[in-house]
Every structure is written in C-alpha cells, then in structure tokens.
Structure 1
Amino acid sequence: MTKSELISEIAERSGLAKSDVEKCMKEFEGVVHEVVAKGEEKLTMPGFLSFEQTMRSARTGRNPQTGETIQVPASKAVKVTAGSKLKASAKGA
C-alpha cells in the first residue's frame, strides 16, 4: 500500500477529507522526525509501534569486494519496533 492509498483508505473509513488526513499524516511524520532527531525520548504507540534514536558503536568492518579491513565510525540510527498487537496481527491472531 502506498502513502496515497493509505490516505484514501483512512479518509474513506473516517469520513474525513483526504486533505485533512494528509495534513494529519504530515504532522505525525514531523513529530516522529523531531523526537528521533532529539534522541532524548522514545515515541511509543502502545501495541502498535515505537520509534527511538540509537547509537551504533564504532567497529571494524570488511570491504566485501576486496576483503580489506576498514574502520566504521560510530553513528546514530533509528530503531522502529512493532508492538504486541501489530505482531499478533502479522501472526494472524
């Protein structure tokens, strides 16, 4: 399902205008971006998803083409975790 299909589906189910649903989705994305960028807290939607910033430590890697050992610097990443209800839906429960 694409983002536009999701917006259409939510608009149809909720009775809201597509433009209102799209605005809401954009604001939701903005909030998630801000929370993850700050890295101070975790955004949690119980049973559905959680978003948080994580740190990857520096490590030694290997170039797959040459086999040469390289140093991979520490970096920040985002972690998205599925909640229990979403996991149950995926299992068909």
Structure 2
Amino acid sequence: MAKPMTKAQLVAALAEKSGTDKKTAAAGLEALLDIISEEVSGGGAVTLPGVGKIYCRERPERTVRNPATGETMQKPADKVVKMTIAKALKDSVNA
C-alpha cells in the first residue's frame, strides 16, 4: 500500500493542476475544508462530485465493554462523521 499523500503534496498537486501558485492553492484547500467542516458540524452534508458524500450521523446510547477489564458501561449518544464513496470513484479504482 502506498503512503498517503501529505497536505503539502496535495497543495503542490492542486497548484500544478490549476495553474496557480502554492499559496493560492493552499488558501483554496483551507477554504474548502472550512466549508465542509462548518456544514457537517451543523448537521448538513456535503457532496463532492465524483468523490462522495460527507455527512454526520448520530449514534444512540449503548452498552460497551472494556476489553482489558471486562467491565460494561453505558456510552452516551454521540455523533460521527461518515463518508459514502461515489460510484465513479469506486469504478476508477477497480478499473
């Protein structure tokens, strides 16, 4: 498995593909991440065409077990961020 792309590598690739400098590409990436974070934390969802849908899902309160001690306890309800991958991306990976 290849190493994941770092933020610096992503900014450099984005700058090259869009024909801008790295500073502009970094600002665009930061703006995109801020928009996604605000929307998802507010209970909404963001669809990135060709990539997938990022959304927040609520998990109900549940009983969990500590594997080290075997003790059971109640875990309060919480929220998790989920992502559904777009069919186009799945198809491109499996092609």
Shared fold (TM-score greater than 0.5)? yes
What does 1:32-43 align with in structure 2 at a 5 Å threshold?
32-39=36-43, 41-43=44-46
Runs of 4+ that moved beyond 4 A: none
Match of residue 61, structure 2, among 58, 63, 80: 58
- TM-superposed CA distance for 1:13, in Å, is 2.1
What is the letter of the counterpart of residue 13 of structure 1?
A: K
3-state SS in 1 of match to 2:40: helix
TM-score between the two structures when normalised by the length of structure 1? 0.91
Aligned to 1:11: 15
Deviations 1:10-55 (A, max 9, x none): 111221111010000000000001011100x211123312111110
RMSD (CA atoms): 1.0
Measure the CA separation in 1 of the matches of 2:49 and 2:15: 23
What does 1:1-93 align with in structure 2 at a 5 Å threshold?
1-39=5-43, 41-91=44-94, 93=95
Measure the CA separation in 1 of the matches of 2:93 and 2:33: 23
3-state SS in 2 of match to 1:8: helix
Identical amino acids, percent of aligned pairs: 40
Structure 1 portions without partners, runs of 5+? none
Structure 2 portions without partners, runs of 5+? none
